[in-house]
Amino acid sequence: MDYFDIFKNNAEWVIATLTFIGSIISFIVYKKWKRPNGPLATQEGQSSTQLTQSPVQNNSIIINNSNSSSPPIGNIPEDSHMTSLDAQKNLTKILFIDDDSKFKVVQILKNSGWLHTSTIKDVRSLDCDDVRNAHIFFVDIQGVGHLLGFEDEGLGLADALKRKYPLKKTVIYSAETKGDRFHKALRNVDSFLAKNADPYEFQQLVEEYSAEIAKNGY
């Protein structure tokens, strides 16, 4: 029996033996390369270093819907109407011309924040400081105007004030329910109120006129 016959009869055993030997050789080679200074260890170390040093790629998408022109939530502007009204209360000068120095509406306006509200019993001159500095006139049609000789008392005074200061607001009021409904002052002045009208009606006119005055400039 020659070697070929031996190999043929024991082919499976020979193949298994060769496979086992190959596995042992591969294991030895792997252990050798796996040593601290071996090629495989060096390559793995380099790969590990590269992974450590490589920046992490963040694939998340950040959507920013904020508008750069919008104010921060914590700095929301105050209501513009309230801000302007507060400013008007500090700037508007209101003059009541009434021989009754205790007319209650004057104090009510002051209590509402209209600090520059004052009253005089009559006008000595249309150029006096009280008149020149005021933005809004409230004129009682009875008991005033005597110092300037107006025959129609407050009606004549109110008409003269409106003619001399057309940009200022002039309001007349009266406790009398009767009077000259066709007097020219009623056509020239800005408004008319009953003296016993609700104080809020006076305040409404003040707010309306002060807003208009502020718009045009004090």
The answer on 114 and 184 residing in a single domain is: yes
Contact 172, 154 (CB under 8 A): yes
Confidence check: pLDDT of 141 > 90: yes
The answer on 140 and 34 residing in a single domain is: no
Of residues 39 and 109, more confidence is placed in 109
Contact 180, 161 (CB under 8 A): no
- Is 7 within the bounds of a domain? yes
- Is 68 within the bounds of a domain? no
The answer on 138 and 89 residing in a single domain is: yes
Confidence check: pLDDT of 20 > 80: no
- Is 73 within the bounds of a domain? no
For residues 157-173, give the mean pLDDT. Answer: 97
How many domains does the chain divide into? 2
- Check which CATH number belongs to the domain holding 127 and give it: 3.40.50.2300
The answer on 92 and 42 residing in a single domain is: no
Confidence check: pLDDT of 49 > 90: no
Of residues 28 and 117, more confidence is placed in 117
- What's the pLDDT score for residue 138? 99
In whole numbers, what is the pLDDT of the chain averaged over residues?
A: 79
For residues 160-164, give the mean pLDDT. Answer: 97
In this predicted model, what pLDDT tens digit does every residue of 85-117 receive, in sequence order?
999 999 999 999 999 989 999 999 999 999 999
Count of CB atoms situated within 10 Å of the CB of 112: 16
- Is 75 within the bounds of a domain? no
The answer on 208 and 154 residing in a single domain is: yes
Confidence check: pLDDT of 182 > 80: no
- Quote the domain boundaries for residue 101: 83-216
- What's the pLDDT score for residue 19? 78
The answer on 116 and 40 residing in a single domain is: no
The answer on 207 and 99 residing in a single domain is: yes
The answer on 205 and 105 residing in a single domain is: yes
- What's the pLDDT score for residue 87? 92
